[in-house]
Amino acid sequence: MERKDNVIAGFRAVEEALLAGAPLHAVYIEKGKRGSRVGRIKSLAKELGVKVVEVRKKKLDLLTTARHQGFVALVSEVRFLDLWELLELVPKGENPLFVMLDGVTDVGNVGAILRTMDAAGGHGLIIQERNSPYFGEAMAKASAGAIWYVPVARVKNLNRAIEELKKEGFWVVVTVPGAEQSVFDFKEDVPLVVVLGEEEGGVRKSIIEKADFKLSIPQRGRVDSLNVSVAAGIILYHVARVRGWF
């Protein structure tokens, strides 16, 4: 991929990028700014050999329109993996747990899913080249830095990716409103890919037909659907508990 620089704004976002060893080119700090936060960022940057430059607030305002709190960093564009690279990153002795997104384009939702995956122990996210959001400044903020911890594979065709994963022994789970089996009845500790679709259309029929399990999330209320990031959290934590991770 051609290298591009993204801007990360705000103390927490810059700190997380440094802690994760993200490929930063430079960190900019507002000139004259003092305090423990400045010391923290300078110390982390020094450990990683990242250049720190003190500039006027005007310069930071030109770099980003986001609320930067006096801290801005330039980072290389996220490097997407292929399916096989993603598989190689799964720790030995653990069954892989992947999430695949079918048409989920909202940065807030994808960021929240990345954050939940990092917390619950998901091994990687799979997205399609088309119909996926940009992994830049907004995603770094929405994911609270999880963008630097959760590996992301980008594929041309989700159906083909599912076929390849099934050849590798993966089971495919999709959530379908009204499905007879509840997600909480799922007790299998197997290589797993959980497919989530956008709220209005859901997962495409061609993918649902390939699923080994069609599960529903029980609800007592009147609203007939959950936000996709909420659904992801419910499923991921249930699978993590089944596997004894918590």
Q: What is the pLDDT of residues 69-86, one digit of tens each?
A: 999 999 988 889 999 999
More confident residue, 198 or 99: 99
Question: What's the sign of the alpha-carbon dihedral 90, 92, 94, 96?
Answer: positive
Helix, strand and coil content of the chain, in percent to the nearest 5, comes to 35, 25, 40
R_g of the chain computed on alpha carbons: 20
Per-residue pLDDT at 5: 61
More confident residue, 98 or 179: 98
Number of helices followed by number of strands (H, E) in the chain: 9, 11
Same domain, 70 and 87: no
Average pLDDT score over residue span 49-66: 94
In which residue are the tokens 């770094």 written? 140
Residue 38 has pLDDT above 50, yes or no: yes
Residue 203 has pLDDT above 70, yes or no: yes
23 within 8 A of 88, measured Cβ to Cβ: no
Residue 4 has pLDDT above 60, yes or no: no
Residue 58 has pLDDT above 80, yes or no: yes
Give the other-Cβ count within 10 Å of 245's Cβ.
Answer: 12
Per-residue pLDDT at 178: 83
Give the domain-ending residue among 47, 75, 103. Answer: 75
Same domain, 96 and 192: yes
Query: How many Å apart are CA 19 and CA 149, to the nearest integer?
Result: 10
Q: 244: which DSSP letter?
A: T
> In 77-121, at which residue ranges do the beta strands (DSSP E only) sit?
97-102
Same domain, 102 and 160: yes
Query: How many Å apart are CA 230 and CA 218, to the nearest integer?
Result: 13
Q: Confidence band (pLDDT; 50, 70, 90) for 2?
A: very low
Same domain, 188 and 232: yes
Residue 236 has pLDDT above 50, yes or no: yes
Per-residue pLDDT at 106: 95
Q: Confidence band (pLDDT; 50, 70, 90) for 6?
A: confident
Residue 199 has pLDDT above 90, yes or no: no
Strands 192-197 and 171-175: parallel
Give the domain-ending residue among 75, 91, 120. Answer: 75
Same domain, 16 and 93: no
The total of structural domains in the chain comes to 2
Looking at residue 235, which CATH number applies to its domain?
3.40.1280.10
With 0-12 / 13-18 / 19 or more C-beta atoms within 10 angstroms meaning exposed / middle / buried, residue 156 is exposed
Same domain, 157 and 121: yes
Domain-located, residue 2: no
Query: How many Å apart are CA 78 and CA 81, to the nearest integer?
Result: 10
Per-residue pLDDT at 177: 83
Coil vs helix vs strand at 181: strand
Q: Confidence band (pLDDT; 50, 70, 90) for 3?
A: very low
More confident residue, 193 or 3: 193
pLDDT tens for each residue of 9-32: 999 989 999 998 888 999 999 999
With 0-12 / 13-18 / 19 or more C-beta atoms within 10 angstroms meaning exposed / middle / buried, residue 52 is middle
Q: Which domain holds residue 41?
A: 7-75
Domain-located, residue 1: no
Same domain, 99 and 32: no
Domain-located, residue 37: yes
Domain-located, residue 113: yes
Residue 245 has pLDDT above 60, yes or no: yes
Same domain, 180 and 234: yes
For a pLDDT cut of 90, what percent of the chain falls above it?
76
